[in-house]
Structure 1
Amino acid sequence: MLKVCTFESRRSEEMLSLIQRQGATAVSAPSLKEIRLDENSDVLKFGEELLSGQIDIVLFLTGVGAQAMLDVLVTRWSMEAIAGALSRTMVLVRGPKPVGVLRSCQIKVDYRAPEPNTWREVVSMIDSTPIPIAGQVVALQEYGQPQKELAQALRDRLAEVRSVPVYKWALPDDLAPLEAAIRSTIAGDLDVLLFTSAQQAVNTLDVADRLGLRGAWVEAARKCVIGSIGPTATEMLESLGLRPDLEPSHGKMGHLVIETLALARSARG
């Protein structure tokens, strides 16, 4: 029976169930926790600039980030005032999740980047549509790690970029399951590794490094079948020395589990 490790945290129970329904043994190794920034001065400063007409374009990257930003803003201004100010800017989004959040607050969306929803699609959308970037002030809602490539691409197009970090990632409080999974990988006890975000890979390597096992873990992980939820996670894994064996046909957890396990079984013969 295949032994499959998932690094998912927030939806770990769902991932375990998906793996088990495919007849495999599931190992849960939560690799991150999401933390709202305690000091929301960046968001409040953005709000002041937005309502005073100093922002030309707002780019939302995630649904959770968009909601978190709005939650902070309504502590000082009414949603009506926020929506009105955003209506006077151009609103860009990456992927479907920010769209739902914004529309539920009656905030219009001008352009949405297509799948697979990486920063490259955002840049391609800007280049292929009449979005006036040059000389404009662009507020960039960041999540997790700073969006250096996207910010630089906007600057290359002569935009003035103002990053607005909303939440960040930290290691989970209980590292024992992740440490155990790292050691199990090195021992050859795991067949499949599933990553549903880029930050999971970063944090897993961070913990392996703290244990003095980074090199050993990377070498052992290369012998496993690695499934990546999509291009952003794949790009991060590759930058860390791991090449995923599969991205699912759709960037959903169910597709990731089914298709990666099918590949692992076919590889076994």
Structure 2
Amino acid sequence: MSEVAPLAGYTVGVTAARRADELGALLERRGATVLHGPAIRIVPLADDAELVAATRALLRRPADVVVATTGIGFRGWLEAADGWAMGDDLRRTLAASTLLTRGPKAKGAVRAAGLVETWAPESESNAEVLDHLLKSGVDGHRIAVQLHGEPLRDFVDTLRSAGAEVLEVPVYRWTAPSDTAPLDRLLDAVLAGQLDALTFTSAPAAASVLRTAERRGRYEAVLDVLRDRLLVACVGPITAAPLAGVGVPVISPARARIGALVRELATVLPARAVRVRAGTSTLELRGQAALVDGHLRPVPPAPMAVLRALAASPGRTLPRPVLGAVLRRHSGRTESVDEHAVETAVGRLRSALGTTDLVQTVVKRGYRLAVPAS
């Protein structure tokens, strides 16, 4: 028997714009079904008037200190400056400044540009960089901070309160997606219970999902699902901040990396699976599939709702009206579900599981999992 991939049977939502293909491929390699709805759009660097203006401002009045926060952002800034015929001037200006780098990737990008950082923190924490600056003294200093996707409001405001003049350099600025249809479909899947996990790789994407839900008049409904029924995974604490602020529990890997995020999901989701014995078989309920003695068996949504109800009370007979209520809640219908619909769902469940032995009919009473006697 071949080993089942850790995320087989699970559907994972991806909200990323940049590196969405990479994240999706990593998830699919571990067996997941991926639903992509980009929550943001990246403004191309070469077309970003704000980045051009910030670069010109830095060249006119060089900064005493330049903070490089990300490797990809720093490299992109230099490449864009080359395209505007400002690259050489920018490198000379940076070389004459005190360069601080946040983390090894930013340090690598600085050195690849032929520059040398003055200081880098032990961690990859903005807080440690800020603490170093404040201890060094910033009153009266001009400090350029390379941003990456989201404002560093607390960081910048603290420096200004301490007397620094701060120039924000907005590399990779985010805006709303030009086509919101994929994100709308992703939110529909969230509300319909068709996702097992939702991933975020940037704080702007998290904020955009909440704004889109509010725009559609489904804010509270989406929040209820994110808080109680869906596993929400963020690449790191900065990304998680907009969600944590509205009470959404999240999981994050120890290191803020896409690969680590996927590995975290591949550990946490299978650990949440429901496992029961039925007949001589072991069942493991995953997303929209069941492992029957280690073999993956896709199960349609309505029969899966029935299977989950039966597995929640293994061996107990559930009457047809109870299972009808399960199907009604699953479908979102207001009218009752008749016994024929229950029988149809059970029949489809048995077909999906590949055997009639696991779900027993209790004459005139209902259905039960064939739990062996203890």
TM-score, normalised via structure 2 length = 0.64
- The 3-state SS of whatever aligns with 2:120 is strand
Quote the offset at 1:179 in angstroms: 0.7
In structure 2, the residue matched to 1:146 is 151
Which residue of 186, 193, 198 corresponds with 2:198?
193
2: CA distance, partners of 1:152 / 1:73: 27
Q: Structure 2 matches for 1:165-244, cutoff 5 A?
A: 165-222=170-227, 223-244=229-250
1:14 Cα deviation after fit: 2.0
Letter in 1 for 2:41: K
Q: CA deviation at 1:247?
A: 1.2
1:157 CA displacement: 3.2
What is the match of residue 41 of structure 1?
53
The answer as to 2:13 corresponding to 1:5 is yes
Q: Distance in 2 between matches of 1:225 and 1:239?
A: 17
Q: State the identity %.
A: 28
Instruction: Give 1:198 deviation, angstroms.
Output: 1.2
CA offset digits 1:113-155 (Å, max 9, x no partner): 343x343232234356xx3423321112223332210012222
Shift of residue 192 of structure 1? Answer: 0.8
Partner of 2:343: none
Q: Distance in 2 between matches of 1:170 and 1:30?
A: 11
Distance in 2 separating the partners of 1:267 and 1:114: 35
Among candidates 109, 116, 127, match of residue 120 of structure 1: 127
Q: Distance in 2 between matches of 1:203 and 1:9?
A: 12
CA distance in 1, matches of 2:270, 2:80: 47
Q: Which structure 1 residue ranges, 4+ long, deviate > 4 Å from structure 2?
A: none
Decide whether aligned partners of structure 1 residues 183 and 77 sit closer, same or farther in structure 2, where only a CA change above 3 A counts: closer
Q: Indicate yes or no: 2:97 matched with 1:89.
A: yes
| Alpha-carbon shift at residue 85 of structure 1 (Å) | 2.8
- Quote the Cα distance in structure 2 between the aligned partners of 1:166 and 1:18: 26
Residues 61-70 or 11-20, more deviating:
61-70
Of 72, 78, 81, the residue aligned with 1:64 is 72
- CA shift, 1:84, in A, is 3.2
CA change 1:10–1:164 in 2 (3 A) is closer
Amino acid in structure 1 at the alignment position of 2:230: C
Structure 1 or 2, whichever has the larger Rg, is 2
Contact map agreement 1:43 1:165 (CA 8 A) in 2:
no
Structure 2 unaligned regions, length at least 5: 1-8, 275-374
Alignment check: 8 A CA contact 1:134 1:158 kept: yes
What residue identity is the alignment partner of 2:151? Answer: P
Larger RCO of the pair (alpha carbons < 8 Å, separation 6+): 1
Distance in 2 between residues matched to 1:213 and 1:206, nearest whole Å = 10
Report the residue type matching 2:249 in the other structure: R
Contact 1:58–1:91 (CA under 8 A) maintained in structure 2 = yes
**For 1:71 and 1:13, how far apart are their aligned partners in 2?**
23
Secondary structure, in 3 states, of the residue corresponding to 2:177? coil
Q: Alpha-carbon deviations, 1:174-215, whole Å to 9, x = none?
A: 322211111111111111111111121011112212211122
Asked if the contact 2:206/2:240 (under 8 Å) is kept, the reply is: no
Pair 1:106–1:45, CA change in 2 (3 A): same
Find the residue that maps to 2:232 and give its secondary structure: strand
Number of aligned pairs? Answer: 260
Two-structure CA RMSD over aligned residues (Å) = 2.2
Once the two structures are superposed, residues 40-96 of structure 1 have per-residue CA deviations (whole angstroms, 9 ceiling, x without a partner) of 22221111112xxxx2111122233323432454435452x4333323221112223
Q: Supply the AA of the counterpart residue of 1:192.
A: A
For 1:98, the aligned partner's letter is A
Contact 2:79 2:87 in 1 (8 A): no
Q: Using the alignment, how far apart are the partners of 2:266 and 2:221 within structure 1?
A: 24
**Partners of 1:240 and 1:144 in 2: CA distance:** 21
User: Is residue 47–residue 73 contact of structure 1 (8 Å, CA) maintained in 2?
Assistant: no
For the pair 1:25 / 2:33, whether they are aligned, the reply is yes
